[in-house]
Structure 1
Amino acid sequence: MFKILIMKINRLKNKKILLLGFGREGLSSYKFLRRYVKNGLIGVADEKRLADFEKQYQTVLTQDKKLSLHLGKNYLDSLEDYEVIIKTPGIKLDKKIAKAYGDTSKLTSNLNIFLANISGKVIGVTGSKGKSTSASLIYHIFRKAGRKVVLIGNIGRPALDYLNWDSKHTIFVVEMSSYQLDTLNQKKIDSALITAFFPEHLDYHGNSHKYFQAKMNIVRNLKKNGVMVYNRKYKKIKRFIDNQRVKNIGYLYNSIGAYCHTPLLGKHNRENIFGCIEIAKLFEVREAIINRTIKNFRGLPHRLENVGKFKGIRFYNDVLSTTPESTIEAIDALKGKSLETIILGGFDRGLDYKKLARKIVSSKVKNVILWPHSGIKIYKEIRKLENSEIRLVQVKNMRETVRACYKYTAKDGVALLSPASSSYDFYKNFEEKGKEFNRLAMALGR
């Protein structure tokens, strides 16, 4: 484990501070420093060249004449010159970076600084699948209950953007990715929810064990009397929590008597809702408010999103399913809805697609549309099962994809985008890919 710096605002003053990575969270940290640590010497280190940044980032980097810039391939050469390094989640915390400045005790993060400087309550939410939806639902439940609540994370804004919202009455619902948890070192979490665990982000963490240990930092950073809520079907999580001897509530899908009606599709969503209910109960939210909020909660874009019905074909956008396990859950969620066509493939992170191939064959999907590059691996796994009834269609872009959906999907059938892969080889992020799918489904369906 790396040693991570704990940093109160007053300890940042008059320090030489480096922002390692200047994306969405790096910009948030910059704004925080310029507001609270005005006299600090600030540097920015990023692998990108100045011309590679989007306009809003270029503007900051060029107009603030007090910034020291370390951009391009040698960006790590500057690390030893600074007393504090605020690392963004997208940069791997590996031995190469540790060696570059010799001592990771100079290292901290946007989230660590935030947690070190607040007095409000913190609800942490993580999981290989469902953390954004669960965090958003918890936020809506507390908001309907009249609580002062703030949503932070991938679906909100970076933590330090909300520092001035803090009070002893504030409840911060914080979606925590494995990237953020990798460097978390603040025992400030009052309660936490782990929705699920299966191998993910192995290109970042290196292996499943390191990914698991990063996720379990949410347990390690509970307050002394903090409570861990988790799905008991994940035995590995249960064993870890039991060994940590923290207060915990484990739930199973059929273990709660009252059933709350929800418009969300899929067993995985219903399981996660049970976890959200347990979190709300810890804060004594009334059952009627919980049930009413769940009933009216429509979910988030790009997560089994019902795009619409065009030319008699129903389109679903589940682009955020970036693992075989989550795509299997999407297939199960659409069981009985005439799923005919599924769109798979994208950035190849070395995942195993054998179980997904078996699920596709057993679910009687008629058409599989395959993207480079993992699509080739999925293609081979399906071919090994020698099922000649499945039509395999290889495409190169989203326009070809949607045209194939219209060509091969029968009227009243369903076409599902659930790639079991990330989007980074063709798109900036999953939102960009999902939006293009939605747009073309509508445009070509006129």
Structure 2
Amino acid sequence: MKATTKVKDKKVLVLGLAKSGEAAARLLAELGAIVTVNDGKPFDENPSAQALLEEGIKVICGEHPLDLLEEDFALMVKNPGIPYSNAMVQRALEKGIPVLTEVELAYWISEAPIIGITGSNGKTTTTTMIAEVFQAAGRSGLLSGNIGFPASSVARKAESTDTLIMELSSFQLMGVTDFHPNVAVITNLLPTHLDYHGSFEDYVAAKWHLQDRMTAEDTLVLNFGQDMAKELAKKTKAKVVPFSSQEVVDGAYLKDGLLYFKDQPIMKAADLGVPGEHNVENALATIVVAKTWGIEDDAIRTALSHFTGVKHRLQHLGQIQQVAFYNDSKSTNSLATKKALSGFDKQKVILIAGGLDRGIGFEDLIPDLVGLKGMVILGEVTPKLTMAAEQAQVPYVLAERVADATRKAYELAQEGDVVLLSPANASWDMYPNFEVRGDEFIATFEDLKGEEHG
């Protein structure tokens, strides 16, 4: 861990716990800050706060008292999910207190170089693909960031011989100032999280913070399948290396069924371990990073051909009576579901979809539903999704929860078919998060498998 005196003897407020807040509080205390943690969950229901208090860190739980900010805080480190409209964040900004996220702290102390990955879709898969390529090449690539491993925790233990492979959300990137990756990837930019950011322009601006500190010695990997990326490429000091599944570019591209890097064929697209055009794009981005890092083609081929997906992101669970099951619970918008469907023969797919009603329709999804064997629909958006299914002329049934939906989908399926959970909606009407939703799908798959073999 690199030494820093940025926060030594300074009062720092950590707003919101969860994994990243807890990690930030511990790191700040280790760096000599005078730390106060404020979390909305009551103390007696808050094991993280209890653990921090036992370590001598001040905790205030159950409310967010604005008068707390009358103390002379030099810095606020907020949980990324807390919006900037939050009263505590607003008051901090009014008082001129810098508001950071914990990935900024990770950068301050990291001895390891950083590969930062962001984007609207595909960032978790791309991050994991890169890590597996590193592993295949015998390199130490440490998963960190939005992928479930708090960046500051990983950075504390990382050495200069490691590389931090860091997934970054737009929420995290709004809270950085010095953050400087050596290589950065933006998988794509699409309208999402607008309830948080307010506009697509503000969302793109948040993502673009990834490259703020990059120089001509650094590499920025952009998806030239999007015209917006071509425009953004003109606005960075970094060296841009593009990828595209649509055209030949001066980077990684798809041509005649092969994945290339600068006129050099790397592997067949058909040999990728996961289906779908979106995974071709994820693999192309991974290839650019790997080649930039000097990794051999054999390691790239080995990792990408054996890659079976990320949990909850088009994760292949296996088969029951030659019916394949795929868990794509992380598909929380229409575009992600479109991309998932692109990898299959739709005539053989039973799609499980539905969830939280965010006030939007599914007109853009209807063309991709056409030709499906069937749908199982659930959640708040049931009226809208049934209308979309009817317009696409897809037969459908309704379900109460994912377990019920999985069983109904299996009943509709025949040998050679696919049961695909790809909800196109957030989970919060029924589940705390997409992971819990996906875990119910996995558990039901295991139950069905046991029943068939029992």
TM-score (norm 2): 0.87
- 2:113·2:181 contact (CA, 8 Å) conserved in 1? yes
CA distance in 1, matches of 2:111, 2:36: 29
What is the aligned partner in structure 2 of residue 92 from structure 1?
Answer: 83
Instruction: Find 1:24's aligned residue among 14, 19, 29.
Output: 19
- Classify 1:418/1:192 alpha carbon distance in 2 versus 1 (closer, same or farther; 3 Å): same
Residue 118 of structure 1, CA deviation? 2.6
- Consecutive unaligned residues of structure 2, counting only runs of 5 or more, are 246-253
Kindly provide the amino acid, as one letter, of the partner of residue 8 in structure 2.
K
Q: Distance in 1 between matches of 2:96 and 2:358?
A: 28
1:382 pairs with one of 365, 376, 389? 389
Between stretches 258-267 and 270-279, larger displacement belongs to 258-267
Structure 1 residues 352 and 213, CA gap change in structure 2 (3 angstroms): farther
Sort the Cα spacing of 1:426 and 1:338 in 2 relative to 1 into closer, same or farther, 3 A.
Answer: same
Q: Secondary structure at the match of 2:367?
A: helix
For residues 347 and 287 of structure 2, what CA distance do their matches in structure 1 show? 28
CA–CA separation in structure 2 for the residues paired with 1:297 and 1:226: 27
Q: Percent identity over the alignment? A: 27
Question: CA 1:286/1:31 → structure 2, altered by over 3 Å: closer, same or farther?
Answer: same
- The correspondence of residues 61-76 of structure 1 with structure 2, limited to 5 A, is 63-64=54-55, 66-72=57-63, 74-76=64-66
Structure 1 residues without counterparts, runs of 5 or longer: 1-6
Tell me what 2:399 maps to: 395
Q: Aligned letter for 2:69? A: L
Q: Retained in 1: the 8 A contact 2:367–2:392?
A: no
Provide the rounded CA distance (Å) in 1 between the counterparts of 2:44 and 2:378: 30
Contact residue 127 and residue 143 of structure 2 kept, 8 A: yes
CA contact (8 A) 1:184 1:221 kept: no
Determine the C-alpha separation between the residues in 1 that align with 2:317 and 2:106: 37
Q: Which residue of 1 aligns with 2:51?
A: 60
- For residues 116 and 57 of structure 2, what CA distance do their matches in structure 1 show? 36
Contact 2:273 2:305 in 1 (8 A): yes
8 Å Cα contact 1:189-1:223 kept in structure 2 = no
1:437 paired residue among 432, 441, 445: 441
Matched with 1:4 is: none
Q: What's the CA shift for 1:41?
A: 3.0
CA distance 1:70–1:106, change in 2 (3 Å) = farther
SS at match of 2:30: helix
Matches within 5 A, 1:56-205: 56-60=47-51, 63-64=54-55, 66-72=57-63, 74-81=64-71, 82-94=73-85, 96-101=87-92, 102-205=94-197
Corresponding residue for residue 242 of structure 1:
234
In the other structure, the counterpart of 1:226 is: 218
Relative distance call for 1:86 and 1:225 in structure 2 (3 A) is: same
Contact 1:370 1:376 in 2 (8 A): no
SS of 2:6 mapped into structure 1: helix
Per the alignment, residue 3 of structure 1 pairs with: none
1:297 aligns with 2:290: no
Which 10-residue stretch deviates more, 120-129 or 394-403?
394-403
8 Å CA contact 1:345, 1:372 repeated in 2: yes
SS of the aligned residue for 1:432 comes to helix
| Structure 1 residues 181 and 352: alpha-carbon distance in aligned structure 2, compared to 1, 3 A threshold | farther
Match of 1:353 in 2: 362
Counterpart Cα distance in 2 of 1:386 and 1:292 = 40
Pick 1 or 2: higher relative contact order, CA cutoff 8 A, min separation 6.
1
Q: How many residues get paired?
A: 429
CA distance in 1, matches of 2:412, 2:208: 44
Question: Is the Cα contact below 8 Å between 2:185 and 2:222 reproduced in 1?
Answer: yes
Which of the residues 371, 374, 389 maps onto 1:367? 374
CA RMSD of aligned residues (A): 2.4
For 2:417 and 2:57, locate their aligned partners in 1 and report how far apart those are by CA, in whole Å: 59
CA contact (8 A) 1:323 1:351 kept: no
Deviations 1:290-340 (A, max 9, x none): 22222222221112122222245322111111110110111111126711x
1:62-117 Cα deviation digits (max 9, x unpaired): 53555141432x44442342322111111112374443121354322211111122
Partner of 1:329: 339
Amino acid at match of 2:21: G
- Superposition map of 1:271-290 within 5 A: 271-290=281-300
Aligned partners of 2:218, 2:85: CA distance in 1, in Å?
30
Counterpart of 1:18, as a letter, is: L
In structure 1, distance between residues paired with 2:172 and 2:19: 13
Residue in structure 1 matching 2:431, options 406, 427, 430: 427
